[in-house]
Each structure stands twice: as structure tokens, then as C-alpha cells.
Amino acid sequence: MSSRYHQVYESWQRDPKGFWAEPARDIDWFKPWDKVFDPDSGVYGRWFTGAECNSCHNAIDRHVASGRAGQIALIYDSPTTGRQQKFTYAELLAEVTALAAVLQDQGVQKGDRVIIYMPMVPEAAFAMLACARLGAIHSVVFGGFAPKELATRIDDATPKLIISASCGVEPNRVIAYKPLLDGAIELARHKPERCIILQREEQRCELIPDRDLDYAEAVAATKASGREVACVPVLATDPLYILYTSGTTGQPKGVVRDNGGHMVMLKWSMENEFGVKPGEVFWAASDVGWVVGHSYIVYAPLFHGCTTILFEGKPVGTPDAGTFWRVISEHGVVALFTAPTAFRAIRKEDPGGTFIPRHDLTKFRTLFLAGERADPDTIKWAEQHLDRPVIDHWWQTETGAPISQNPMGLGQLPVKYGSPGVAMPGYDVQVLDDAGHPVPAGTLGNVVIKLPLPPGCLPTLWNADDRFRRAYLDEFPGYYKTADAGFLDADGYLFIMARTDDIINVAGHRLSTGGMEEVLASHPDVAECAVVGIHDELKGQVPCGFVVLSSAATRDTTTIEQEIVQLVRERIGAVAALKLVVTIKRLPKTRSGKILRSTMQKIADKEEWIIPATIDDPVILEEIKAALAARGIGI
């Protein structure tokens, strides 16, 4: 089949407003929009202004009303606990309504913020949808973040209430969440009025009287009362959620997602980009704490009337490298979306793909990869063993849906290895030099998107319009800066090569090295430090910390290095995966004092490096090389 991509993209270019008005008809609105796009509203314009709607209604109620009540909406598959649960759309409605009633009883209203700090359990999705039902704004915080990170988010979002659980279950250990939650509330300036705690059998916790409610008891009570909680109409431009993502400092950015544009974009993407039909089973193997989890575990599959899978496990070790194939065959998954790192992990354990033929994958059509650069080797390995299309696509927390892809629903285009495809409708992707001039095809530069951003992208940062302008819009006037470097080839295929800021991508998780440096610098024995992302076979990148100790430090360096590793786990969380700290005598700097982080990374990764002309003292680079070599790195 030839692809309709070019024709569809051109139709968007000719008439962007008319283009998005069309899929907007697939959404239930309580009141139609005044304007499809209002350029005078918000920082760069707003989509579907004046319209009223509700995201929970479009995710659940409309499907129950239109014949999907008995269809499975959500499958919870948890190899880490050995549990499985299935919820029809009608059962999902009952769970979400009951929790919404609990929230309402606690005074949660439209516009209030609710933080959700939960492991991968169905109640995490219920909590998101219950907030959406009430017009409250949820902010999910990934369970792998430490109390300090949670506290920063509590202070920024100032939630009325927090929903959490007694513990998370990782393959090798049970992680008590309650002490992390209590620690965060202790640290935060803002104190939420209530916490609703899901007691998990693996490890129950003490509830604090007058503050904590037992999730199961509270929900059972509202279920018994049979109370109905209607979906609260909100403006299309009202926030649905805030999702914090790493910025260039330790202070995370609160990405705001609105209701209307988000629904339109996600529903459109399911059919046209992912090639999935209502009623089919879609699986995003990610975590609800990340944007992939928000968009493609919870919202998009439900907006589209699909069955979604919430998987509490890992690609390997729960129990083996065949888990993904077991889930696909058992639940009839048509499309899997995960990060390349998951496939690197599977390939490492099962290089011959021997687990694959043990499962019936007849319904499975496509593997989608995103979150980090998909290396051609991994793609080819997956293609060879699965004998199905493997599609790399590129996006960010900020956009909430793919910017570039090979659009399966519109018809697959030829694959170019190393490229996450072509710009999707809504996105005019360009590559500019540092002075803001377009560069010729094939030339590396700053990847930018011409404003306005399409429906579903962030309209701003939470309570921080100025920071939004400074971080994304000021450097290249008229464009959104993605902070990715890359190039477009002559056929319009995009190649994403690196970040232009201090963000690194560890196992598909976006982390700020600047944030880690703040933690290293806070150690009393550290005089100076730098953190760089170095290559890792499995995780793509891992952080490597370089420290210069203060002259007053007298203890042995190994002890100090171990303390620093521990400090990062305590302050940021295990997810930061900082396991390597190297003590050096001096940091390499330019004469103006800028630390030469990229040269240090090149030395560690055995890439070609030249001595920068502006370096203060070139001998320092030899010292770094020797310090890394002593750890077996860069040799």
C-alpha cells in the first residue's frame, strides 16, 4: 500500500485549522469551540478556545454509553507480584467514579491539584481519571524519585491531596513508599491536607491519624453509597495535568497539558500514527510516571476505545526475557510501544531470540520505539526476530505525542535506520544554525518547530510563563526549541543525534546532569564537580561524576565516592543510576572558566577528541584519561 502521508501532511500545511477541526469531531464536547485556534490567547495561541469538555468522559463514559461497557478497558499484568486483573469499561467507570466521590468528599474541586505518587498499579490510572472527572489537575510523580524530588514538586504544584501506596514492588526488592512520602511532606513547605494510601499486601504501612485515608476503605464506602459523580465540564484550555520533567537545573519544569487539544491529538495519533483501531489491544511498556505512560498507557488507548495494558514488570528478570512475548500472546496485543533500552536488555539475555517462537504472536503487528535514540543494531535485531515493522519515533514530554514518525496508519514509508521518521502533521520541523539561519539538508544544527505548536503540546509551564518563554521560545524567535541537535535529509527524514543542553537519557529516562551536580557539590568534601553522560551498552547513557576534593578532605577517596553515590540515590532517587564517581585533581576548563564536559565525555567514550584551543591547561585532560583508565573506562 502506498502511503497517504505526503497528501495528509500537505493538507495540514494548506489549512492547519481546518485540518484539526476534522478529528475534533471524534471527541464529545459539552460545548463547541468558538475558535479552532486563537493566536491571541496564551503565550503562543491556544487550541479549541471556548469549548467545554471532560477528558474522563471521553476516556470512559462515552464508551460505556456507546456499546463498549463489557469490553475490557484495562488489563493489569504484574509479573513482579504474580497478579492479573481485568477491568471492563463499565468496571473502570465504577472504580473511577467511586474514587472521584472520595476526592470530592475531601473537598477536591475543579482546578485543585492532586499529586499521584504510585507504583504501576491500576489505582494509579483510576486516580488520574478520577481527577480528570472532577476537573482537578493531576501531577503524577515517578515512584523512583526520592523525597527531595517529590518535595520540590509538592511545593511547585501545591496539591490539596496526595494519592500514594504503601510500597512499590521491584523485581529484587519491595520499596516502602510511605517513608518516602512522609519524608517529602516533611521537607516541603506546602503541606497537603490529606493523603489517600493504597495498602498493598507486599508491605502495609502505618497511616497517620487525621491525615491519611485508607484507599480501599474509602472507595468501598462510596461504592456502597451508590453515589454518582458526574463529569465536571472544563474548558478545552483548562489544564488536565502537570508533569514535571528535567530542566537544565535541579528545578524541574512543570509541563502543562490542556484537555481539548490533548484529546484531539491523542485520538488522531492512535489511528493515523500507530495504526490501531478501537477495540484492539495496545500496550505501552513504560511507567505512568513518564509522559509515555500518561499518553499511551492511560489516555490515548482509552480515548480511542482500545484495551490498554498496565504492566508492572521489566523486560528481563520477571521472570525472563520472554515476558514481553508472553504478555503479547496472552492478551492479543496488536502494537507494543517501549524504549530501545528494553530491547537491548532482552537481546543481551536472549541474543538468539529463542523465547520469541515459544509464543503465539499472530495478532502482533508493530513494535514502536521511542524515548531515546534507537540504534540501528537494536532495530535490525528486533526486525529480524519479530519479522514485523519496527518503528522509531521521536517526541518529548512537552509535546505529549510524536513529533516525527513513520506513520503506520497513513501507510508505512520506507525505513531509514537511525531516523525516527518524518514530521507529523502539526509539526513544521526545521534545523537552524546557532544564529537562527536554516542549514542545508544533511547539516547538523538545532532542531526547532515553527510556532504555533499543534494541539496537545504544552501551552506553557505551570505558573511560569516567563520561564516557558526563556527555556523554549526566546533563543529562536518564532520557533520552539526542542534542545535536540540533529539534521533533516533531502527526503525530509529527521535524525536526532544529541541534546544541546545538560539533559541525558538513561534507560529512556530523562535526567539533568545539572541537577546531579547540585547534589555532588553539596557533599562537604567536594570542592568542584562535573557530571557527564557516558555511553552504556544497556541504558544508552549513564551518568559519570567527576569530583575534585577540597583540601580539607582527609578520608580515603573510595569512601567519599561511595557516599556521593548514596547521596544521589537519597536526593534524586535510584532512577538516576549514578554508580560511577571518579576523583580527579583538577577539572579541565577554558580560560574563561567553562568546564569542558563534552571533552571529558569523549575521552570516556573513546571518541575522537582534540585539545580545545581555549583550554587553560591541556595536561589536565591527560590526568582525566588516566583516572578513567584506572577504572577501565575509555581504554
Residue 565 as a binder of ligand COA (CB under 6 A): the answer is: no
Residue 314 as a binder of ligand COA (CB under 6 A): the answer is: yes
Q: Nearer Cβ to ligand COA, position 399 or 446?
A: 399
Determine which residue in the list 123, 170, 517, 525 makes contact with ligand COA, applying CB under 6 A.
170
Give the DSSP letter string of 372-424: S---HHHHHHHHHHH-S-EEE-B--TTTSS-SEE--TTT-PPPP-TT---EEP
Choose the stretch contacting ligand COA; rule: CB under 6 A; options: 308-316, 461-469, 485-493, 589-597: 308-316
Pattern 186-225, binding to ligand AMP, x per CB under 6 A?
A: ----------------------------------------
- E strands along 171-280, which residues? 173-176, 194-198, 212-214, 234-235, 239-245, 253-258
Residues 340-379 that bind ligand COA (CB under 6 A): 341-342, 345, 371
Half-sphere exposure of residue 356: CA atoms within 13 angstroms, side-chain side? 19
Distances 283 to 209, 317, 328, 366 between C-alpha atoms, Å: 39, 19, 8, 11
Q: Nearer Cβ to ligand COA, position 63 or 138?
A: 138
Under 8 Å CB-to-CB from 332, ≥6 apart: which residues?
Answer: 281, 363
Residue 273 as a binder of ligand AMP (CB under 6 A): the answer is: no
What are 595's strand-pairing partners?
A: 589
Residue 420 as a binder of ligand AMP (CB under 6 A): the answer is: yes
Residue 164 near residue 180 (C-beta atoms within 8 A): no
Residues 280-309 that bind ligand AMP (CB under 6 A): 291
Grid coordinates given for 356? 520469541
Residue 104 near which of ligand COA, ligand AMP, none (CB within 5-8 Å, type-dependent): none
Minimum distance from CB of 301 to ligand AMP (Å)?
Answer: 18
Residue 615 near residue 590 (C-beta atoms within 8 A): yes
Residue 158 near residue 67 (C-beta atoms within 8 A): no
Spatial distance between the Cα atoms of 319 and 115, rounded to a whole number of angstroms: 32
Residue 420 near which of ligand COA, ligand AMP, none (CB within 5-8 Å, type-dependent): ligand AMP
Residue 76 as a binder of ligand AMP (CB under 6 A): the answer is: no
Helix/strand/coil percentages in the chain, nearest 5:
35, 25, 40
Residue 314 near which of ligand AMP, ligand COA, none (CB within 5-8 Å, type-dependent): ligand COA
Determine which residue in the list 192, 260, 371, 540 makes contact with ligand AMP, applying CB under 6 A.
371
DSSP class of 559: H
Determine which residue in the list 46, 257, 373, 509 makes contact with ligand COA, applying CB under 6 A.
509
* Site size with ligand COA, rule: CB under 6 A: 26
Spatial distance between the Cα atoms of 283 and 285, rounded to a whole number of angstroms: 6
Identify which of 463, 440, 560, 541 has the alpha carbon closest to the alpha carbon of residue 498.
541
Residue 507 as a binder of ligand COA (CB under 6 A): the answer is: yes
Residue 510 near which of ligand COA, ligand AMP, none (CB within 5-8 Å, type-dependent): ligand AMP
Residue 322 as a binder of ligand COA (CB under 6 A): the answer is: no
Residue 290 as a binder of ligand COA (CB under 6 A): the answer is: yes
Residue 407 as a binder of ligand AMP (CB under 6 A): the answer is: no
Cis bond before residue 452 (omega within 30° of 0): yes
Q: Give phi and psi for 152, each to the nearest 5.
A: -60, -40
Residue 143 as a binder of ligand COA (CB under 6 A): the answer is: yes
Minimum distance from CB of 526 to ligand COA (Å)?
Answer: 22
Residue 499 as a binder of ligand AMP (CB under 6 A): the answer is: yes
Residue 12 near residue 23 (C-beta atoms within 8 A): no
Q: Nearer Cβ to ligand AMP, position 245 or 513?
A: 245
* Residue given cell 478520577 in the structure block: 130
Determine which residue in the list 575, 584, 621, 624 makes contact with ligand COA, applying CB under 6 A.
575
Distances 121 to 180, 465, 580 between C-alpha atoms, Å: 18, 34, 32
Q: Give phi and psi for 578, each to the nearest 5.
A: -85, 105
Residues 382-401 that bind ligand AMP (CB under 6 A): 392-394, 396-397
Residue 118 near residue 163 (C-beta atoms within 8 A): yes
Residues 479-498 that bind ligand AMP (CB under 6 A): 482, 484, 496
The burial of 119, by beta-carbon neighbours within 10 Å (0-12 exposed, 13-18 middle, 19 or more buried), is given as buried
Minimum distance from CB of 145 to ligand AMP (Å)?
Answer: 14
Choose the stretch contacting ligand COA; rule: CB under 6 A; options: 126-134, 300-308, 334-342, 512-520: 334-342
Q: Nearer Cβ to ligand COA, position 413 or 544?
A: 544
Minimum distance from CB of 216 to ligand AMP (Å)?
Answer: 32
Q: Nearer Cβ to ligand AMP, position 307 or 541?
A: 541
Spatial distance between the Cα atoms of 93 and 87, rounded to a whole number of angstroms: 9
Pattern 327-366, binding to ligand AMP, x per CB under 6 A?
A: ----------------------------------------
Choose the stretch contacting ligand COA; rule: CB under 6 A; options: 20-28, 382-390, 432-440, 574-582: 574-582
- Please give the single-letter amino acid code of residue 462: W
Residue 413 near residue 4 (C-beta atoms within 8 A): no
Under 8 Å CB-to-CB from 312, ≥6 apart: which residues?
Answer: 76, 77, 78, 79, 80, 81, 119, 120, 121, 169
Determine which residue in the list 150, 572, 577, 600 makes contact with ligand COA, applying CB under 6 A.
577
Minimum distance from CB of 89 to ligand AMP (Å)?
Answer: 29
Residue 245 near which of ligand COA, ligand AMP, none (CB within 5-8 Å, type-dependent): ligand AMP
For residues 510-519, b (16+ Cβ closer than 10 Å) or e, as one string?
bbbbbbbbbb
Choose the stretch contacting ligand COA; rule: CB under 6 A; options: 438-446, 501-509, 543-551, 609-617: 501-509
Q: Nearer Cβ to ligand COA, position 297 or 356?
A: 297
Distances 419 to 246, 383, 388, 428, 550 between C-alpha atoms, Å: 24, 15, 18, 17, 45
Minimum distance from CB of 372 to ligand AMP (Å)?
Answer: 5
Pairing, β 503-506 against β 83-88: unpaired
* 3-state SS assignment for residue 204: coil
For ligand AMP, the binding residues (CB under 6 A) are 245, 291, 370-374, 392-394, 396-397, 420, 482, 484, 496, 499, 505, 510
The residues of the shown chain that bind ligand COA, judged by CB under 6 A, are 119, 143-144, 168, 170, 175, 286-287, 290, 292, 314-316, 338-339, 341-342, 345, 371, 507-509, 538, 574-575, 577
